[in-house]
Chains A and B, each alone.
Chain A
Amino acid sequence: MGLLFHIGRYFAFMASALRRPQKGRVFAQATAVELEAIGVQSLGIVALLSVFMGAVIAIQTAHQVVGWVPAYTIGFTVRQTMILEFAPTIIPVILSGKVGSNIASQIGTMQVTEQIDALEVMGVRSISHLVLPKLIAAVFIFPFLVIVAMVLGIGAGAWICMAADLSSLADYEYGIQMDFRSFDVTYALIKTCLFALIITSVSAYHGYHTSGGAKEVGRSSTKAVVYSVVIVMVANLVITQLLLT
């Protein structure tokens, strides 16, 4: 089916997803469950990757530029990389593999086992009931994960500088404070919210439109990740151009 068909169906899907919840208390409980599933359960992988990336960026910078530029460049580079790209873009891309595939396979399985039909027959608006809590939870919790990633990455950079004697802590601290613009963090958080929306909605869309059996659920899950990543990358280019120039 054509691209235009999918775009049209996606926006119709989103219009249904953003409808007012039928029962506030059920919605609040579902959102709390999603906050735990999307946020708390992703904290470990986000922390692990951020620590290693922060440390690696510090080592790479020291290896390539120290000697002909000041040592505080290490702190500056780690901060800029973590705040501008690694935390707000690469972390959501990684989460699209974990959270996105999980959403697509969960909703896809519900579709092929008639659980969604059961909701509809009961009178439950299935799209809104299943998708809205995930959207709200992701948009709320992704920025939190990204801030954790920024802090841990920059902290890991400081730790490796001291442990591997790449620069003094004072130089590193000077580097991470040098020419700091708070708008960079705002820009990162705006991007993060947009990517959270893209990843959850695209994954839910693919899961919801699954038909067939286990093989198709697997295929929807793969499509969810691939399309989420591609759309996040395109959106990153557009939003960077819009906000930083």
Chain B
Amino acid sequence: MIQVRGVDKAFGEKAVLHGIDAKFDAGQVNFIIGRSGSGKSVLTKCIVGLLEVDAGTIQYAGEDFTGLTPKEREGIRLQIGMLFQGGALFDSMTVLENVVFPLRMFSSMGTEERTERAMECLKRVELEGAEHRFPAEISGGMQKRVALARAIVGRPRYLFCDEPNSGLDPQTAIVIDNLIRDLTQEYKTTTVVISHDMNSVIEIGDNIHFLHKGSVAWRGDRKGILDSGVKELDTFVYASDLMRNIKAKLQGR
């Protein structure tokens, strides 16, 4: 479980996050949603330690991450897997080398064992046969799946996915969503997904935090999101006709 308490973050004079409180549960797909510029990515970077918070605390299973030195944080970082928006695959390495990399750096496994584990993860994301290709030689959807395989290869306790569906066609987006949900249940990870894709939220979101102007304006589950009564969230959710039609359909049942 990850607990965020009273987190503030500003860049110079510009306050981006104020008093963020959030709780992300283990074995659940936790969403952080909000419009562009609402502070989703900054909050995520604070949680994983890529940015330092100005105030507040972030706890991983009760341990205060913000109070640790960079060296002390390494222990927690080894339990984190992250899928970046653009994949962030190492372009000088093949698909297999990318997935093996965290194991080469931090495990005591031998070459054969590492390769076996990486192949297992590639199989899990349905990418057997692509292991000797370079990131530039595969599609955006495949790159995301490789990045997901790399994120889970070390059996992380915490999985972060930054805009996992951006730039993907709806069908591939569903494949990625299902993978994230299945992997969360399989590994019992605390999964945090940053997204503004309402399809994903409705499809796999267990616990949802809506950010508006750097604050948590609403939190709840996917059932409650359609009738939150929060004006900003309604504007966000019903920005497209599709969601209005879904709501009408659900109400007609």
Residues of A within 8 A of B (CB): 22-23, 25-26, 109-110, 113-115, 117-118, 120-124
The smallest beta-carbon distance between A103 and chain B, in angstroms, is: 13
A122 to B74 Cα, complex, angstroms: 8
B105 contacts across to A, CB distance below 8 A: 22-23, 26, 122-124
Pick the contact of A123: B45, B74, B104, B160 (CB < 8 A): B74
The smallest beta-carbon distance between A73 and chain B, in angstroms, is: 50
The smallest beta-carbon distance between A177 and chain B, in angstroms, is: 47
A121 touches B74 (CB 8 A): no
Between A115, A117, A118, A120, the greatest number of chain B beta carbons within 10 A of the residue's beta carbon is seen for A118
Query: Quick check: is B60 within 8 A (CB to CB) of the other chain?
Result: no
A113 contacts across to B, CB distance below 8 A: 86, 88, 91
A115 touches B77 (CB 8 A): no
A115 touches B88 (CB 8 A): yes
B80 touches A114 (CB 8 A): no
Check A114/B104 contact, CB under 8 A, given A122-B77, A123-B74, A123-B78.
no
Chain B 14-33: CB-based contact to A (< 8 A → 1; otherwise 0): 00000000000000000000
A115 touches B82 (CB 8 A): no
B84 touches A122 (CB 8 A): no
| Total count of chain B residues near the partner, CB < 8 A | 22
Closest B residue to A120 by beta carbon equals B50
Query: Quick check: is B48 within 8 A (CB to CB) of the other chain?
Result: yes
Between A114, A121, A124, the greatest number of chain B beta carbons within 10 A of the residue's beta carbon is seen for A121
Closest A residue to B70 by beta carbon equals A125
Check A117/B50 contact, CB under 8 A, given A23-B105, A123-B106.
yes
The smallest beta-carbon distance between B1 and chain A, in angstroms, is: 19
A23 to B103 Cα, complex, angstroms: 11
Pick the contact of A121: B48, B86, B90, B101 (CB < 8 A): B48
B78 touches A121 (CB 8 A): no
Tell me the interface secondary structure of chain B in the complex.
mixed
Query: Quick check: is B102 within 8 A (CB to CB) of the other chain?
Result: yes
A118 touches B88 (CB 8 A): yes
A123 to B74 Cα, complex, angstroms: 5
Closest B residue to A109 by beta carbon equals B91
**Would you list 29 pairs from A and B whose C-beta atoms are within 8 A, ordered by A residue?**
A22-B105, A25-B104, A26-B105, A109-B91, A110-B90, A113-B86, A113-B88, A113-B91, A114-B86, A114-B88, A115-B89, A115-B90, A117-B50, A118-B90, A120-B49, A120-B77, A121-B48, A121-B49, A121-B50, A121-B77, A122-B77, A122-B78, A122-B80, A122-B101, A122-B106, A123-B80, A123-B105, A123-B106, A124-B105
Closest B residue to A33 by beta carbon equals B92
Check A121/B82 contact, CB under 8 A, given A113-B88, A115-B88, A115-B90.
yes
Query: Quick check: is B207 within 8 A (CB to CB) of the other chain?
Result: no
A26 contacts across to B, CB distance below 8 A: 104-105
A117 touches B84 (CB 8 A): yes
A117 touches B77 (CB 8 A): no
B106 contacts across to A, CB distance below 8 A: 23, 122-123
Check A114/B90 contact, CB under 8 A, given A122-B102, A124-B105.
no
A114 to B166 Cα, complex, angstroms: 15
Closest A residue to B90 by beta carbon equals A115
Check A117/B74 contact, CB under 8 A, given A22-B105, A23-B105, A122-B105.
no
Q: Which 7 A-B pairs have the closest CB atoms?
A: A123-B77, A118-B88, A114-B88, A121-B82, A114-B84, A123-B74, A123-B78
A117 to B80 Cα, complex, angstroms: 13
Chain B 48-83: CB-based contact to A (< 8 A → 1; otherwise 0): 111000000000000000000000001001101010
Closest B residue to A123 by beta carbon equals B77
A26 to B102 Cα, complex, angstroms: 11
Query: Quick check: is B199 within 8 A (CB to CB) of the other chain?
Result: no
B77 contacts across to A, CB distance below 8 A: 120-123
Query: Quick check: is B85 within 8 A (CB to CB) of the other chain?
Result: yes
Chain B 142-181: CB-based contact to A (< 8 A → 1; otherwise 0): 0000000000000000001000000000000000000000
Chain B 200-235: CB-based contact to A (< 8 A → 1; otherwise 0): 000000000000000000000000000000000000
A110 contacts across to B, CB distance below 8 A: 90
A25 contacts across to B, CB distance below 8 A: 104
